[in-house]
Amino acid sequence: MSLENVTIQFGPFRALTDLSFQIERGEILGVAGPNGAGKSTLMNVCTGGLHASRGRVLFNGKDVTGFKRHSRCGLGIAQTFQIPTLLSSVTVGENLLAGQMFGSEARGSAPDIPIQDILYLTQLEDTLNLPASQADLLTRKRIMLGAALATGPEIIFMDEPLGGLNAEEIVEFLQVIRHVREELGITIVMVEHKTRALAEIADRILIINFGEFVMLDRPEVVLNDDHVVEIYLGKKHDA
């Protein structure tokens, strides 16, 4: 997927300014930046929650700028949210079923990821009949990821997938995300505040600030960059 000069304007306020970059197939791309940098807006532009005021969003060479969420889902663009709001009145299995059912409807053919693989990756096999409302946070995140996978995506945008998890759970969920990429070859874009975890898992990290592109490079380069450190921590004082 690539963005070309994407600008998002809310009235007088510019949430994203002239943003261009490319997401490589099969990579894990981390997106970071201070609060209000425009990370969530960026996610929404990519997944169809918002439409660019100017510029284009391309996916597999196709201009998807004006596509809505469900149409983008049909093209293979999936998404998980910061707060895992699920189909809470049905079972875990039915959440996945919904992904499979409407994913196929949106794309017009059955998704090519077998449900067994999804269950294996997300480790939801034993909880299929549990009401989704009774699942704990980590399980909810697994369910949300599982339903997204059931739509048969090529790329998944994850908004703060590690938010609210404790250290142990973070390790566990990072492993799940890693497996999704390794086993299924799905491209992953994740917005995350936990920079250390992001550096550990991401192939590249994109930093944005005030809706503008700052840099996009390997984690060790990005996190040692003076300008990036300054954005996060403020200017160094010379003694």
Partner 1 sequence: MADRSASITSQFTGAGLGRSSLIFWALVGGLALLGGLLGDSYVRHIFILVFIWCIVIASWDLILGYAGIFNYAQLVFFAFGAYGSAMLSIYAGLTPLLAIGAAALVGAGIGVLVAVPSLRLKGEYVALFTFAVHLALPPLIQQGRAIGMGGNTGLLGIPWLNLFGFQVSSIDKLTWYWVSLAFGAVCVYLIYFVILRGRMGLAFIAMRDAETFAQAIGVNEYKYKLLAFVVSAVFTAVAGGIYAHYTSVVTPKVLGTEFFLMAMVMLAIGGMGRFPGAIAGVFTVVIGNELLRSFDDYRLLLLGVAVVVTVIFFPEGVAGAFKPKPPEKAE
41 versus 47: smaller Cβ distance to partner 1: 47
Give the dihedral of Cα atoms 30, 32, 38, 39; nearest 10 deg: 40
Q: Provide the β-strand partners of residue 6.
A: 19
Binding positions for partner 1, 126-155, rule CB under 8 A: 128, 131, 134, 144, 147-148, 150-151
16 versus 148: smaller Cβ distance to partner 1: 148
Q: What are phi and psi of 207, to 5 degrees?
A: -110, 130
> What is the layout of strands, in order, in the sheet containing 187-191?
77-80, 155-159, 187-191, 28-32, 204-209, 212-217
| Selected binder of partner 1 within 23, 32, 42, 78 (CB under 8 A) | 78
What are the strands, taking DSSP E only, across 74-183? 77-80, 155-159
One-letter amino acid of 87: L
Minimum distance from CB of 143 to partner 1 (Å)? 10
One-letter amino acid of 133: S
Contacts with partner 1: how many residues (CB under 8 A)?
46
Residues 6+ apart with CB under 8 A from 165: 137, 138, 141, 173
> How far apart are alpha carbons 45 and 33 in whole angstroms?
17
Asked if 85 interacts with partner 1 (CB under 8 A), we say: yes
Asked if 68 interacts with partner 1 (CB under 8 A), we say: yes
Give the range of 17-25, 70-78, 193-201, 229-237 binding partner 1 by CB under 8 A.
70-78
Give the range of 13-21, 47-55, 206-214, 225-233 binding partner 1 by CB under 8 A.
47-55
| Selected binder of partner 1 within 17, 40, 79, 122 (CB under 8 A) | 79
Work out the angle at residue 204's Cα, subtended by the Cα atoms of residues 180 and 174, and round it to the nearest 5 degrees: 35
| Selected binder of partner 1 within 24, 117, 182, 220 (CB under 8 A) | 117
Give the range of 55-63, 87-95, 201-209, 213-221 binding partner 1 by CB under 8 A.
87-95
Minimum distance from CB of 88 to partner 1 (Å)? 5
Let me know if 35 is exposed, middle or buried by CB neighbors in 10 A (0-12, 13-18, 19+).
exposed
Q: Give the footprint of partner 1 on this chain (CB under 8 A).
A: 47-49, 68-70, 73-74, 78-81, 85-91, 93-94, 96-107, 114-117, 120, 128, 131, 134, 144, 147-148, 150-151
